[in-house]
Amino acid sequence: MPAPRTSVRTAAARPVRTTTARTTTARTTTARPRTAGVRAATQRPPLTAQEAQALRAVLAARAAATLDHTNEPSRRVSTGRPSSGRRPAPGTRARTSRKRRPASARRAPLRRWLPTADGRRWRVRLSLAALGLVLPVLAGLMAPGTQATSTAAEPTDATGLALAAQGSLLDAATRYRTLERDLAARHAELASARAAEQSAQQQVTAARTTVGTGAADLYRASAEARHPLLQLDVRAAGATADVLHGTALAERAAQQLEVDVVQAERGAVDLTLATRRVAVAEAALGTVQAQAAAVLDEVRAEVGGLRTDVAAQLAALGTARAAAAQQDANQAALRRWQEHLGVLAVAGIESPTAADLADPTALPAGLSPALDGAGQPIPGVAWAVAGNRPVTVLPAETVVAVSSALAQVGKPYVPGGTGPDAYDCGGLAAASWLLAGYAIPTDAGDQWTHGAAVPLSQLQIGDLVLADGGIDVGVYVGEGQVVAASAAGYQVGVHPVGDASAAVRVTLPAPAQPNAALPAGTAGRGACGAPPAPVGPVSPAWGGWSNGTIPATALCSITRGHALRCDAAAGYAALADAYRTAFGGPLCITDSYRSLGAQVTAFRAKPALAAVPGTSNHGWALAVDLCGGINIAGTVQSAWMAANAGRFGFVQPDWARQGGEKPEPWHWEFGHLA
């Protein structure tokens, strides 16, 4: 009888376990010095989140570039196991039709398993595996602020970190704006709940007063008055009718008193419910306020850790092209700002937070109070020495706010715009400071009344400069200039301060009492520097561009494939809404802004109808051609346009009207254009 197979397998298995244990011990012993080395390396200062992300992107790009060199198709490697993937049970043989491979085949050299003779694909895989092990070590070895050894990679690194920071800040700003809308709804709910509570309180007070008066009258009444039946007398039969009438009146008064008591009780219940509703509304408002405050804290924390060179690069992200003179002013301000931050970066000076600069007597090491011309400390700002000359050190929040404002130059102006694609002057200031962790009103007047006023003699970069009696505002960028969304230039740009009337510093605490209203401006301008309304036809030229050369970034889309100057686009949108309400369908449009090339094409196709290239008001993005019945004189649609288009700023020039020089009932322009 053969020996049991189990004993043979057990005996054969013991040496394997011993060998495995030895191998494990040896590996553990060998790994100790490597673990200690990694531990020592990770004791170095870690990268920030943005730096680690940028590092991963660079390494992944290099790995992808390595993979691009291997174009061999992947090959399936046979394992020699059954298709089910199960191993034979102990003590049994695998039932399969495959032939057992010889031992020499089972221990074939590694090169026989490689898809290619040189093993390039395996080297790529091993490289990627090594990359995954080395990446944490590199992140620990590289200290924050270190740059790549190649000078060509430095701008790319700063740009990548700036893009990452901008994306994070914009995401936080979007979340805050959502919470801000929720806050408005919660405030409305709380106001409604408090109004209901006040109404319930008044009803309860009135009901209790009625009950109290009735109870007092009943208490002071005589027994006969409370119970008229006591007055019945068999000897005075004629008085019975009066007694019965008095009894009915007493019963009615008692019933009314019971009704008043029930109403008072119900009013008390309603008051309790209204009070609870107020408490719930207050709790909901407090929750949203806490969430909004947490978002602002998150933004300020990220801004406080942003490197100076990254903040400088942040100012150059997203700028759009402007006309020649305005482009020069924009670029000069941007260069000046980046040079200032570059001096700080070279000197190793990082901007502290606004909280660190709040007390001029307790500034961070290496900083001294900034002084004005009279020798008085300037709150919220400090001085440092870079090389052999003093430099102004602004809070980190101010640096990000100014960089964010400069990054918007060239974007269009639109009334009420708060970004990120178009702004008005107050909206630009609010959006820029929101990216720095400060929520300020979007209206220029409210920014003054609720801001910390500073004298113009202490004006610093980042301050909000008010003009025209507080209806125009810009972010100060030094050298007597502000970056603002101008209604005169229809664009965000750098402009002289001009008739400045006041300034506020966002990083200082808000005043206990609102600032007094500023005196009215004397320039006769409208909101955000809008010029006075002209008396007659005006030149359609704007922005400094020539006819047909306006960039798309300076325009606002009105529908697919069509765009106008942003104020004209806003008027068109309102016109289209009114038209839809009147006719139940969309406003039909065939033409809007027409570039110079499009004007040439139109003139070649229809020389009798199209204007000479370079002279069409379509080339100023201020004219539209409409259809859907408006293009036919005498229709209901054309009559509606003649009666209503002026409410939205659109008029039909005399030459295009019925009986005009060249009747075009489809052609409408934004304003009376020369």
In DSSP terms, 502 is beta-bridged to 466
Q: Characterise 479 by phi-psi region: left (phi > 0), alpha (psi -120 to 50), beta (else).
A: left
* Domains, the chain, ordered by start: 156-304 (1.10.287.620), 324-375+387-529 (3.90.1720.10), 552-670 (3.30.1380.10)
Q: Which of 80-84, 207-211, 397-401 has the highest mean pLDDT?
A: 397-401
Query: Where does the pLDDT of residue 49 fall: very low under 50, low under 70, confident under 90, or very high at 90 and above?
Result: low
Handedness of CA 52, 57, 58, 60 (dihedral sign): positive
Of the candidates 494, 437, 469, the residue with the CA atom closest to the CA atom of residue 315: 494
Of residues 592 and 130, more confidence is placed in 592
Query: At CA 352, angle to CA 351 and CA 357, rounded to 5?
Result: 125
pLDDT (mean) for 365-391: 91
Query: What's phi and psi for 443, nearest 5 deg?
Result: -90, 135
Q: Which tens digit of pLDDT belongs to each residue from 457-481?
A: 899 999 999 998 899 999 999 999 9
Q: Quick one: tokens of 660?
A: 């005009």
CA 38 to CA 165: how far, in whole Å?
29
Q: What is the pLDDT of residue 261?
A: 86
Are the beta carbons of 406 and 477 closer than 8 angstroms?
yes
Phi, psi of 673, rounded to the nearest 5 degrees:
-100, 140
CB 452 within 8 A of CB 511: yes
Mean pLDDT of the chain: 79
- pLDDT, residue 154, reads 43
**Residue 327 above 50 pLDDT?**
yes
HEC string of 556-607 equals: EEEECCEEECHHHHHHHHHHHHHHHHHHCCCCCEEECCCCHHHHHHHHHHCC
Predicted local distance difference test score (pLDDT) of residue 156? 52
Residue 121 clears pLDDT 60, i.e. is over it: no
Alpha carbon 84 to chain centroid distance? 54
pLDDT band for position 138 (cuts 50, 70, 90): very low
The residue to which tokens 């029930």 are assigned? 262
Predicted confidence (pLDDT) per residue in 51-91, tens digit? 556 656 655 655 555 444 444 443 333 344 444 444 444 44
Q: What mean pLDDT comes out for the span 567-571?
A: 92
Cα–Cα distances (Å) from 555 to 542, 565, 566, 649, 670, in that order, read 12, 5, 6, 17, 14
Q: What pLDDT sits at residue 57?
A: 63
Pairing of strands 481-486, 491-496: antiparallel
What's the distance, Cα to Cα, between the start and end of the chain in Å?
A: 118
From CA 156, how far away is CA 153, in angstroms rounded? 5
User: Which pair of structure tokens corresponds to residue 121?
Assistant: 């694909």
Question: What percentage of residues in the chain have a pLDDT greater than 90?
Answer: 53
Question: How many CB atoms are closer than 10 A to CB 159?
Answer: 16
User: What dihedral do alpha carbons 11, 12, 16, 21 form, nearest 10°?
Assistant: 0
Q: What is the per-residue pLDDT across 262-321, written as a single tens digit (0 to 9) for each? A: 888 888 999 999 999 999 999 999 999 999 999 999 999 999 999 999 999 999 998 788
From residue 196, alpha-carbon distances to 117, 191, 276, 286, 520 in Å are: 84, 9, 11, 20, 40
% of the chain beyond a pLDDT of 70:
76
Task: For residue 341, give both structure tokens.
Answer: 């931050």
CB-based burial, 502-521: b 16+ in 10 Å, e otherwise: bbbbbbbeeeeeebeebeeb
